[in-house]
């Protein structure tokens, strides 16, 4: 008889109130019953803990742990990892969802081959449609080394980092907490630590509908992406894939350009003197990394030339945005 694998899902919560319910209902609707949910109450001051407690009373698969809020979701994740008791781990945000056979499909594949990581389909969920961001169906039957899977993931997410990972691997690494978006780096380290990576037809839906979501707002917290990009480049310094390393070296100029375009459109941010000063300080901290960009294309040569000066670059982006409006 096939072994019934146990799947662990971990979700950090901070002042979510009743918004915690849909994702948990998505788990409870699963056709496969052997799973646990570790809820990390990250110092919530509203009724989040009460709602989670009510749900846990009626479903013993839901476990709640509480910690003081430290400002970084990654710290809540790191705290919760120690409580995982399953065979495989999958991370979810508070408002994501799963297809009803999410665990069953994964279990069927893992009965045949105990991969260190198993990558499902990843959809971006919007109010009026779902967009297939990573199509695992195209990779069915393939097996990658963890090193190669990580390289493809780092290269514009040609492999998704949202995967079932052996709990033993996750517990040995933890979750990196050096920046607001260090989870991107953590996923790559998980993949690199795997001997083998497989794929399955389970589908995970990453919610993009929250108007208050970090991904929807212009925030200086986004600039921690500089540090993440630098660490990712260091992670692959010994890779023989020179195209990948060039891609990673070029990321910070492209990121800086994209972020500055959003800043130019955000009057509130630009009218805030302290934020403007902070923006300039961050530029000087990561200026050398921004100027590592390598390309012979004229448009990128111009970008790099202007990027040598904070004010020149800002003026260039401002002119570009104004011209696009006309």
Q: What is the pLDDT of residues 82-100, one digit of tens each?
A: 999 999 999 999 999 999 9
Q: Is residue 7 within 8 Å of 164, Cβ to Cβ? A: yes
Q: What is the pTM of this model?
A: 0.90
- Residue range(s) in the chain whose domain bears CATH number 3.90.550.10: 7-207
SS3 label, residue 313:
helix
Averaged confidence pLDDT in the chain:
92
Largest CA distance in the chain: 68
Give the mean model confidence (pLDDT) for residues 141-146: 96
Q: Given this model, what pLDDT does residue 306 score?
A: 92
Structural fold of domain 7-207: Spore Coat Polysaccharide Biosynthesis Protein SpsA; Chain A (3.90.550)
Q: What is the pLDDT of residues 233-242, one digit of tens each?
A: 999 999 999 9
* Helix 48-58 vs helix 21-28: crossing angle, to nearest 10: 20
Q: Given this model, what pLDDT does residue 116 score?
A: 98
Alpha-carbon gap, residue 268 to 275, rounded angstroms: 10
Q: What is the pLDDT of residues 150-167, one digit of tens each?
A: 999 999 889 999 999 999
Structure tokens at 83: 């409580």
Can you tell me which residue has the tokens 């780092």?
154
Helices (H), 204-297: 225-235, 242-249, 251-265, 267-270, 273-290
Structure tokens at 84: 């995982």
Residue in 84, 105, 109, 91 with CA at minimum distance from that of residue 23? 91
Give the mean model confidence (pLDDT) for residues 293-312: 91
Residue in 131, 79, 128, 100 with CA at minimum distance from that of residue 28? 100
């Amino acid at each position: 008889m096939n072994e019934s694998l146990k799947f662990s899902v971990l979700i950090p919560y901070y002042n979510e109130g009743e918004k915690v319910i849909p994702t948990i209902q998505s788990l409870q609707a699963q056709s496969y019953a052997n799973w646990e949910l570790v809820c990390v109450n990250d110092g919530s001051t509203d009724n989040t803990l009460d709602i989670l407690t009510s749900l846990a009373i009626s479903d013993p698969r839901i476990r709640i742990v509480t910690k003081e809020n430290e400002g970084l979701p990654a710290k809540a994740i790191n705290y919760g990892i120690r409580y995982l008791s399953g065979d495989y781990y999958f991370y979810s945000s508070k408002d994501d969802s799963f297809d009803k056979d999410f665990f069953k499909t994964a279990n069927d594949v893992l009965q045949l081959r105990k991969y260190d990581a198993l990558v499902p389909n990843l959809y971006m969920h919007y109010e009026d449609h779902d967009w297939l961001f990573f199509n695992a169906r195209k990779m069915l039957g393939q097996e990658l080394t963890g090193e190669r899977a990580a390289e493809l993931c780092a290269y514009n997410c040609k492999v998704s980092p949202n995967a079932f990972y052996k709990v033993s691997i996750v517990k040995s690494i933890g979750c990196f907490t050096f920046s607001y978006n260090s989870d991107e780096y953590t996923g790559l380290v998980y993949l690199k630590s795997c001997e083998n990576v497989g794929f399955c037809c389970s589908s995970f839906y990453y919610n993009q509908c929250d108007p208050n979501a970090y991904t929807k707002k212009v925030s200086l917290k986004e600039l921690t992406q500089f540090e993440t990009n630098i660490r990712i480049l260091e992670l692959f310094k010994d890779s023989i894939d020179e195209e990948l390393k060039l891609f990673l070296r070029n990321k910070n100029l492209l990121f800086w350009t994209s972020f500055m375009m959003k800043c130019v459109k955000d009057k509130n941010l630009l009218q805030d003197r302290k934020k403007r000063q902070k923006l300039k300080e961050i530029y000087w901290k990561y200026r050398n990394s921004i100027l590592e960009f390598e390309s012979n294309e004229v448009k990128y040569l111009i970008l790099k030339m202007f990027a040598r000066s904070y004010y020149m670059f800002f003026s260039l982006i401002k002119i570009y945005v104004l011209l696009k409006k006309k």
